[in-house]
Amino acid sequence: DVVMTQSPLSLPVTLGQPASISCRSSQSLLYSDGDTYLNWFHQRPGQSPRRLIYNVSNRDSGVPDRFSGSGSGTDFTLKISRVEAEDVGVYYCMQGTHWPLTFGGGTKVEIK
């Protein structure tokens, strides 16, 4: 199975400051069709997960433009340009290129 490794595990951030989460895969996520199936999800405390980004950098409808995804091959990054209070929670990357689907262990974002 493809192992997804996120860092850091915990990320204390200051409101209004940028934040960055890394996700690395044990195999390249570039598929033969030219797409890279790397997704980012956000789960607030007590809520269900919400997809933020699909195919590395495509933001879902309604997701603020302070969120951006980038990367290729095995190295991916989720960036928040200016953290707001509603951004707390756990962020997960997930690969959909290889069977079976696998998630990263999560990064917990909290406000300092």
User: Which residues would be at the binding site for other proteins (CB under 8 A)?
Assistant: 31, 33, 35, 37, 39, 41, 43, 47-51, 54-55, 60, 90, 92, 94, 96-97, 99-106
CB of 106 to other proteins, least distance (A): 5
Q: Which uninterrupted H or E stretch holds 75?
A: strand 75-80
CB of 1 to other proteins, least distance (A): 8
CB of 14 to other proteins, least distance (A): 26
Q: Using an 8 Å Cβ cutoff, are 11 and 111 in contact?
A: no
CB of 2 to other proteins, least distance (A): 12
Q: Using an 8 Å Cβ cutoff, are 99 and 2 in contact?
A: no
Contacts of 46 (CB under 8 A, 6+ apart): none
**Nearer to other proteins (CB atom), residue 39 or residue 74:** 39
SS3 call for 96: coil
Q: Which residue has the tokens 């069709």?
A: 33
**Nearer to other proteins (CB atom), residue 13 or residue 29:** 29
**Nearer to other proteins (CB atom), residue 31 or residue 70:** 31
Length of the chain: 112
**Nearer to other proteins (CB atom), residue 29 or residue 80:** 29
Name the token pair of 60.
């879902």
